[in-house]
Every structure is written in structure tokens, then in C-alpha cells.
């Protein structure tokens, strides 16, 4: 009879407590599913007296994470503390160097130190599993690393932050401002008191850097990701998107181009008919485009105790089964260096909203500047004070009028150059709104 896998857990927050509860609750089924049992033998957390709703009798309480990581009575070290540095980093390193397998939900640590940890795992023979670090319950890491190991990936993109998707959903459905929705998200616990990491796109960037490595065989490099947040999005942009057949989402996009791998995070207009456009609220989704493969979209809860715990448990189950794969699908020595692709080279369609001065020649000036950059316009719409729309006219009300342009595929450099010229011409007020369009 095979001995049970002995698990030590550092961190007993919502996720850690749920992992302990489920392992204990389903103890009889682990041997059937994995060929051996799984048993939690040691835990540690900042507070030993905190009530967590779980029974820790019979489980050793370690003095610190490093004690579990170096304990010869532990086979698998589970890190659920968070943070890109110590104590998580040193504890994981110690566990891997002792030949243990490691399971973590720590996206910040994998994005910053994943390659270093993967080298240690390769050298000492343990697994480094981190499914819960990206998309929680969505099995995107396993899909890219194992399920599609024989497929060349062209593009991977998705909604990777539930806070931003919740805010954009409320803004669209209720016509609320960004500030109003953010305040409500904080009240409900979907956003932190300091929400910048989420709403400025950095959380998504960390996850995208990991996905890009898995999809394209590149070294994880968050610094290679272009990042924009959602704070500039206004209700009028969402209304215009709906009328034009689009929906606005904060997407992380990694795509193979002629000049290398482009990685970007920014508000994006996606066709309302696309799978990704149907994902609302705090839900996450990832779409994969592969050679000879119809797009695959994985949808599910991207956060929460139960959702994250399910991914952690799946990684533990793989360790129990003896499944060890390279942390990034390839040996670290075979991963290629990737550099930040200049957004000026990005090519695609664009939504542009301008506040045009109601002066004779305004429309002609805008059209001329776009033509000078060889930008073709799919549509031009002028918003009137009564909410109606029409083709742009050169005269009318004296106050600035919103003008919406949709371009055919062009370069970012061309669009930005044209808009700078329009601003110099002083035929618009304020700053132009620019949202990229991502086709199916």
C-alpha cells in the first residue's frame, strides 16, 4: 500500500482553511482519485488562536513556514501566504532544494521569481505547481502546459481580473461612473481599499506574463507587458460600444507577431458576439487561438476561497499521482528572452472619441490629419445634445460635440500622430479617448 502524501500548508487564510477542510472532508476519496491518500500533517499561520472553522487536532503547528519547508516529514509544501518576497520565497526555495514538491497560488512570486524557482525544481526533482496563481478555478496553466503541449499558440487573451470586470459590467448595465462603481466594489469586498494594483492593470499584467511564458516558451517578464488601466473609461464609451456592436473589457493579450511576442493589458472593445464579451461580473475568462484549432475559451470564477482552493487541490492531486512536468512546459534553459514590444508597432482597429469644436472646417481638418497618416475610417458619428447621432457636420451648436471614429486596421503610431496633429490644430477640446479593438 502506498503511503499517503504528507502535506504541509503555510497560510491559513480563506484559501488555506478551505484546502484543509476539503482534504479532511474527502479523505476517503483521495486514494481512489490519486492512487494514494493525502493528509495534512503540518500548518502555520500568523495567528494560532484565530477561529477558522476547521479542526486542526492531530496536525502539527510549525513555528514558521521555513520549518515546514525543511521538515523531512512533509512531502509537499503548499504556500498560501502571498507576497513576492520572503517568507514565501525563502520557504519555497528551501522546500524545492530538499526535493519536495511545491504548490502555490502566489502570482506575484511566480511572475517575479518563477524562473529561479523552476531551475531549483528541475535540479532537485520536485514539482512546482501554480494553477491557482492565474484564473483560480480556470485550469488555464494545465491547459497550456499540458493539454495543448503539441499545439503552436498564436494568441492567448482574456479577462484576468474580476474587480475590473465587475466595475465595467456595472458601468455598462447601470450607466454609473467609474468612481461610483469602484466605491461600490470596495464596499462589497471586490476591490481593495487601495485598488490601484487591480484597476491600473498590474494584477492582469502579472498573470499575462505567466501565460505568455507557457504559451510561447518565453521567459516570464512582467516588465515586457504594456499596461493601461480602466480609470479613463466613461459611461459614454460603453454606450457607444453597445451601439457599435462591441463591449469594453480589460484584456490581457499575448500574441505572436512578425517582430516577436506582443504582451499588452488595456481596455479593449470586443465584438458582442464573441465568447469573451459574454463574461460579466467578477467572472474571468481566457481564450486560446492555436494553429489549426478553433478558439478555446475557458470561463470560471477567477477568485474566492473555494475557487482558488479547487485549483490548489488539483495541483496537490497531481503531486500525489506522481505527475511532474516542467514548471513552464519547457526546461528553463530553453525559454527565450522576450522584450517589451513598442506599442507604436501595434496594428489593429481603434475607437476614438473626440470633443470637436463646432467650427467651420473642423470635420475636414480631422479627416485631413487622419488621411495624412493613411488611416481609413470605417465610421464617423456625431453625438447631439439630445442623444441622437448623425454624420459629422461642420456647423451647429457652439459647444463642443462628441465625435466618435472607428478606424480600420492601422498602426498605433499613426493614430497617435494624427491625434497629436488634431490637438495642435485646436479643433478639439480635452484629451482624445482611445480604445483598441480586438477582433475574434
| Catalytic residue annotation | 207
Separation CA 8–CA 68 (nearest Å): 6
What is the distance between the alpha carbons of residues 233 and 218, in angstroms, rounded to a whole number? Answer: 32
**38 bridge partner residues:** 5
| Nine-digit cell string for 376 | 481609413
132's grid cell = 491557482
Q: Which helix (H) or strand (E) holds 37?
A: none
Please give the backbone phi and psi of residue 135, each rounded to the nearest 5 degrees, phi first: 80, 10
3-state secondary structure of 52: coil
Cell of 265: 493589458
Yes or no: say if 92 and 119 are a contact pair by the CB < 8 Å rule.
no
Is residue 86 classed as helix, strand or coil in its secondary structure? coil
* Residues ≥6 apart with Cβ < 8 Å to 51: none
Across-strand partners of 263? Answer: 254
Candidates 399, 400, 408; CA nearest to 352 is: 408
| DSSP-assigned letters across all residues of 224-290 | G-EE--STT--HHHHHHHHHTTEEEEEEEEEEEETTEEEEEEEEEEEETTSTGGG--TTEEEEEEEE
Secondary structure (3-state) at 157:
strand
* Residues linked to residue 5 through DSSP beta bridges, in sequence order: 38
Return the C-alpha cell found at 311.
Answer: 485549483
Contact by Cβ (8 Å): 86, 92: no
Closest CA to 366 of 409, 399, 411, 400: 400
Amino acid at each position: 500500500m502506498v503511503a499517503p502524501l504528507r502535506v504541509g500548508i503555510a497560510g491559513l487564510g480563506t484559501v488555506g482553511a478551505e484546502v484543509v477542510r476539503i482534504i479532511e472532508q474527502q479523505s476517503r476519496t483521495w486514494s481512489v482519485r490519486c492512487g494514494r491518500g493525502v493528509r495534512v500533517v503540518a500548518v502555520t499561520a500568523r495567528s494560532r488562536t484565530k477561529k477558522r472553522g476547521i479542526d486542526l487536532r492531530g496536525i502539527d503547528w510549525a513555528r514558521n513556514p521555513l520549518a515546514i519547508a525543511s521538515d523531512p516529514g512533509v512531502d509537499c509544501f503548499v504556500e498560501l501566504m502571498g507576497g513576492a518576497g520572503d517568507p514565501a520565497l525563502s520557504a519555497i526555495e528551501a522546500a524545492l532544494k530538499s526535493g519536495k514538491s511545491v504548490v502555490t497560488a502566489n502570482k506575484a512570486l511566480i511572475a517575479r521569481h518563477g524562473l529561479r524557482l523552476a531551475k531549483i525544481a528541475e535540479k532537485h526533482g520536485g514539482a512546482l505547481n501554480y494553477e491557482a496563481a492565474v484564473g483560480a478555478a480556470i485550469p488555464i496553466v494545465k491547459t497550456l502546459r499540458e493539454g495543448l503541449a503539441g499545439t503552436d499558440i498564436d494568441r492567448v487573451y482574456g479577462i484576468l481580473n474580476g474587480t475590473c470586470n465587475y466595475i465595467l459590467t456595472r458601468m455598462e448595465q447601470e450607466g454609473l461612473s467609474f468612481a461610483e462603481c469602484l466605491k461600490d466594489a470596495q464596499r462589497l469586498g471586490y476591490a481593495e481599499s487601495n485598488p490601484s494594483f487591480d484597476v491600473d492593470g498590474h494584477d492582469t499584467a502579472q498573470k499575462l506574463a505567466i501565460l505568455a511564458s507557457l504559451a510561447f516558451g518565453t521567459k516570464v517578464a512582467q516588465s515586457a507587458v504594456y499596461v493601461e488601466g480602466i480609470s479613463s473609461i466613461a459611461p459614454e464609451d460603453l454606450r457607444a460600444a453597445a451601439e457599435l456592436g462591441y463591449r469594453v473589457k480589460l484584456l490581457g493579450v499575448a500574441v505572436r507577431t512578425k517582430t516577436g511576442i506582443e504582451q499588452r493589458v488595456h481596455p479593449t472593445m470586443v465584438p458582442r458576439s464573441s465568447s469573451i464579451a459574454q463574461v460579466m461580473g467578477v467572472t474571468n475568462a481566457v481564450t486560446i487561438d492555436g494553429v489549426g484549432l478553433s478558439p478555446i475559451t475557458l470561463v470560471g470564477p477567477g477568485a474566492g476561497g473555494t475557487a482558488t482552493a479547487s485549483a490548489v487541490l488539483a495541483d496537490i492531486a497531481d503531486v500525489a499521482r506522481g505527475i511532474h512536468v516542467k514548471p513552464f512546459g519547457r526546461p528553463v534553459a530553453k525559454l527565450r528572452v522576450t522584450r517589451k514590444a513598442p506599442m507604436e508597432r501595434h496594428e489593429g482597429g481603434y475607437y476614438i472619441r473626440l470633443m470637436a469644436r463646432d467650427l467651420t472646417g473642423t470635420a475636414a481638418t480631422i479627416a485631413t490629419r487622419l488621411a495624412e497618416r493613411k488611416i481609413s475610417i470605417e465610421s464617423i458619428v456625431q453625438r447631439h445634445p439630445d442623444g441622437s447621432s448623425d454624420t459629422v457636420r461642420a456647423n451647429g451648436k457652439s459647444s463642443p460635440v462628441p465625435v466618435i471614429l472607428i478606424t480600420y486596421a492601422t498602426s498605433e503610431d499613426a493614430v497617435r500622430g494624427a491625434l497629436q496633429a488634431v490637438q495642435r490644430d485646436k479643433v478639439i477640446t480635452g484629451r482624445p479617448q482611445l480604445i483598441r479593438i480586438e477582433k475574434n
